[in-house]
Structure 1
Amino acid sequence: MKKLVIRGGKPLTGEITINGAKNSAVALIPAAIMADSEVVLEGVPDIQDVYSLLDILNDFNVKTEFKDNTLKIDPTNIASIPMPTGKIQSLRASYYFMGATLSKFGEGVIGLPGGCFLGPRPIDQHIKAFRSLGAQVDDDFGVITLTSPKGLQGTRIYMDVVSIGATINAILAAVKAEGKTTIENAAREPEIIDVVSLLTKMGAKIRGAGTSVIRIEGVEKLHGTSHTLIPDRIEAGTYLTAAVAMGDEVRVNNVIYEHIESYIAKLDEMGAKMEIGEDSILVHKSDNLQMVSLKTLPYPGFATDLQQPITPLLVKAMGKGTIMDTIYPQRVKHIPELNRMGANIRVDGDIIRVEGPSELSGAPVKASDLRAGASLVIAGLMADGETEITGVENILRGYTDIVGKLRALGADIEMFDDGQEEA
């Protein structure tokens, strides 16, 4: 068990470079097994979720090599092996193996995944898509068994709710289905375009990624290729928030502005001083922040994954504001921890009410999930005194070298194994 110790109040100065997108990587890696030769992914973040996926690939008899953010995946000798329990359940994104194995082998046995608990996240839309394509899907106490006795057939799939995971799984299952598939009310996130870019390079025929209607013409085979991941817009938003909170000239590099336009708009509204470059954003010292209200929505709206990281910044702002997370209304476990540090926040049904400004003080807190952990790191940087964060494993699932990156900006942050003496 690890813990982070942050001695807050230090101004941040310098440059930080954003890694490849976690939410792309966790879908691209399962997609790569559908090829019949080696796939090379560049810009893969060095995070725990990637290593969990590599463990799963190893069980499928897929050769991998991961070095300097370049991942080589050789599925030449892949075997159709049932994965009802164990590693497959260690992270939520392992559900992409359902679409990938169904497409590759016409079958699959996948245990339902874990990841951060953010309230109910049903996979009914995934299952509906598989069944629409002609698959037989059996759910036996969380173990999903997929078969396609007559082969998968192109069809029309309408998503009842906009879902990134279900859209990607439907694409994975449909790329080798016979005939044409249309996915309507599809999610539009940049990560979906990234997955489609890889599949297209592998030989898939897909049009409409980034719009709400995706059209797929089935192909018989997919081949190896190489692909570079898009930058991680959630990591970018997290570090931009830290820069607005505590920065004194911080440049965030490898950012696609259009991917976080809705987030930047909120920082602008608060009075943050930023210069938008071609692939970087320079944050100047930003004082006298004004409170805003925000609502999370499917892309291109305000991302639910940035709701928690922005909350400590709102604590610093003047006035009263509300947060409505329409994607995961139960994403509130960071609130009691922030209040322990001196924030004035309350959860009122599905609305988070924030009143500021409040001075934060260091305290022992726990990261209950990945983005709650990011929220507490930012709060620790802002707080007076020492903040000790446990549950660090959750943070390491999604942020590459968070300690090294923040220290390079001047933060006083250290990671310890529990029981290790603090230096």
Structure 2
Amino acid sequence: MSEHFLVTGGNRLEGEVLVGGAKNSVLKLMAAALLAEGTTVVTNCPDILDVPLMADVLRGLGCEVELEDSEVRITTPAEPKYHADFDAVKQFRASVCVLGPLVARCRRAVVALPGGDAIGSRPLDMHQSGLRLLGARSEIEHGCVVAEADDLHGANIRLVFPSVGATENILMAAVLARGETVIDNAAREPEIVDLCNMLNEMGAKVSGGGSSTLTIQGVRKLEPTTHRVIGDRIVAATWGVAASMTRGDVRVRGVNHKHLGLVLDKLRTAGAEVTPEVDGFRVIQRGRPKAVNFATLPYPGFPTDLQPMAIGLAAVAEGTSMITENVFESRFRFVEEMIRLGADARTDGHHAVIRGVPVLSSAPVWSSDIRAGAGLVLAGLVADGTTEVHDIFHIDRGYPRFVENLRGLGGVIERVGSE
């Protein structure tokens, strides 16, 4: 049996929604627990499928992992195992973030090439080149990333692109390396800052989080800590866009609105009233959204994870929008599904031109990744009739209590089984 959503359009979303911990942070924080012997506690964990998947990866490396409510307790042994096998890591991309901690702790790592969303090529060459500069040997062998080091030493590392994953792996390897490491053109995402903060709580010496240059003074040993995950800015923005698309009034809580500066500015350009609040923001859209152009870029630019939501907003906006995808080349697969729903859209290379229509038309559609799935549900909210959204396991990987939250805002959605 598989499951799909039935989404009935026509309702204005209104009310309040609480956002949990960030998916793009919690998995890396769990991996960081490998760096210290003892029990590390991560709180404000989102109730998503990827958390127990990462727990299984850590258990395979010799850790004891307990999941309870929004808390994860990870007890790391004195000598973790260094081989993360294919069965454990094949289901999600973030599993590769154990590479850096294993090289740092064990001086050796064998990590099967990860699976994850079908959004384009995401090679590991920057991860490997960074580890090599730190003194490790790294190759791809038999479908695995293999890294070994007799000793890790500081290095000056400049990334050719501010890759989040490469920044995280190199950072976590460098905290236990001898001497100073400088990572230039590092990723600046709030989730990177969250990881830096947790590492410093464990006894690391990392400075520059949130800037394009990270400086790490290596230490001999880290200690366990208790750390609270930051709020999920991508989930928060999804609800904000949903408010605009449905001409609704939604208060989003549990997130730092400063992490969404450009995104909220785009909603204002679309005609929404956006009010920052102490623990979130409020979006009110009183009429049909106006067309807005979007171009995805690394933080602090417009997030590629919100590109499907941008296309959904453009599809019902008044006027013509251009969406430019600069990060993942295959993310425009989403446009094909939007066309099923009656969107007036065409793509040319990494550009999509969307001419807004007043109402979309319901149809069966298929999710290709987490964000595409959420974007299709949002499109179903502004379509006539009932839209079937299939392959919803993707959505479960990134959006906790998705059905309950949407219903709480007045959306009409039902999870049903199918052969």
TM-score between both structures, scaled by the size of structure 1: 0.97
Residue type matched to 1:404 in 2?
E
User: 1:368 maps to what in 2?
Assistant: 368
- Measured against aligned partners, the alpha-carbon deviations of 1:55-91 in whole angstroms (never above 9, x if no partner) come to 1111112111111211111113553242242112221
Structure 1: distance between partners of 2:226 and 2:363: 46
Q: Which amino acid aligns with 2:318?
A: M
Measure, in 1, the Cα distance between the counterparts of 2:408 and 2:78.
43
Alignment match, 2:113: 112
Q: 1:348: Cα distance to partner?
A: 1.2
Where in structure 2 are the equivalents of 1:294-305 lying within 5 Å?
Answer: 294-305=294-305
Letter in 2 for 1:109: V
SS of aligned partner of 2:248? strand
Secondary structure of 2:42's aligned partner: strand
Offset of residue 247 of structure 1: 4.7
Give 2:80's aligned residue.
79
State yes or no: 1:22 paired with 2:7: no
2:15 partner amino acid: G
CA distance in 1, matches of 2:4, 2:322: 31
Superposition pairs for residues 109-258 of structure 1, below 5 Å? 109-149=110-150, 151-258=151-258
Alignment-derived partner of residue 286 in structure 2: 286
| 1:214-273 deviation line (CA, Å, top 9, x unaligned) | 110111111111111110010011111111112532211112111111111111111112
Give 3-state SS (helix, strand or coil) of 1:354's partner. strand
Distance 1:78 1:249 in 2: 52
Q: Secondary structure at the match of 1:290?
A: coil
Per the alignment, do residues 327 and 76 of structure 1 end up closer, same or farther by CA in structure 2, a change over 3 Å counting?
Answer: same
What letter matches 2:254 in structure 1?
Answer: N
Contact 1:343 1:358 in 2 (8 A): no
| Closer/same/farther in 2, CA of residues 78 and 415 from structure 1, 3 Å limit | farther
Q: Secondary structure at the residue paired with 2:416?
A: strand
SS at match of 1:33: helix
Asked if the contact 2:82–2:108 (Cα under 8 Å) also holds between the matched residues in 1, the reply is no
Matched, 1:98 2:99: yes
Kept in 2, the 8 Å contact 1:2–1:417? The answer is yes
Any idea what the Cα deviations from partners look like across 1:345-370, whole Å, max 9, x if unmatched?
Answer: 11112110101134212111000111
Residue 4 of structure 1: aligned partner = 5
* Aligned-partner residue type, residue 304 of structure 1: T
Structure 2 stretches lacking a partner, 5+ long:
none
What code does the residue aligned with 1:316 have?
V
Q: Tell me which amino acid in the other structure corresponds to 1:317.
A: A
For residues 354-404 of structure 1, what are the alpha-carbon distances to aligned partners after superposition, in whole Å with 9 as ceiling and x for unaligned? 011342121110001111101101001111100111110111110001001
SS in 2 for 1:252: strand
Instruction: Report if aligned partners of 1:38, 1:76 keep a CA contact under 8 Å in 2.
Output: no
Change (3 A) 1:326 1:232: same
The CA distance in 1 between the partners of 2:307 and 2:61, in whole Å, is 36
Cross-structure match for 1:381: 381
Take 2:247 and 2:223, find their aligned partners in 1: how far apart are those partners?
46
Q: Report the alpha carbon displacement of residue 283 of structure 1 after superposing the two structures with TM.
A: 2.0
Find the counterpart in structure 1 of residue 70 from structure 2.
69
The amino acid across from 1:122 in the alignment is P
After TM superposition, give the deviation of residue 28 of structure 1 in Å.
0.7
- The secondary structure found in structure 2 opposite 1:116 is coil
Which secondary structure does the structure 1 equivalent of 2:312 belong to?
A: helix
CA distance in 2, matches of 1:66, 1:236: 24
Name the amino acid aligned to 1:413: I
Change (3 A) 1:77 1:247: farther
SS in 1 for 2:355: strand
Query: In angstroms, what is the RMSD of aligned CA positions?
Result: 1.2
Runs (4+) of structure 1 exceeding 3 A deviation are: none
| Letter of the 1:246 counterpart | T
For 1:73 and 1:84, the matched residues in 2 are separated by 19
Per-residue deviation, 1:199:
0.5
Contact 1:342 1:358 (8 Å CA) reproduced: no
* 1:245–1:286 Cα contact (<8 Å) kept: no
8 Å CA contact 1:344–1:358 kept in 2: the answer is no
Measure the CA separation in 2 of the matches of 1:360 and 1:213: 45
The 5-angstrom pairing of residues 44-55 of structure 1 reads: 44-55=45-56
Q: Which amino acid aligns with 2:51?
A: V
Query: Does 2:399 align with 1:399?
Result: yes
Matched AA of 1:226: T
- The Cα of 1:201 is off from its aligned counterpart by 0.4
Question: CA contact under 8 A between 1:62 and 1:77: conserved in structure 2?
Answer: no
Does the Cα contact within 8 Å between 1:82 and 1:110 map onto a contact in 2? yes
Query: CA, structure 1 residues 344+154, in 2 after alignment: closer, same or farther (shift >3 Å)?
Result: same
Equivalent AA in structure 1 for residue 125 of structure 2: D
Aligned-residue identity in percent:
38
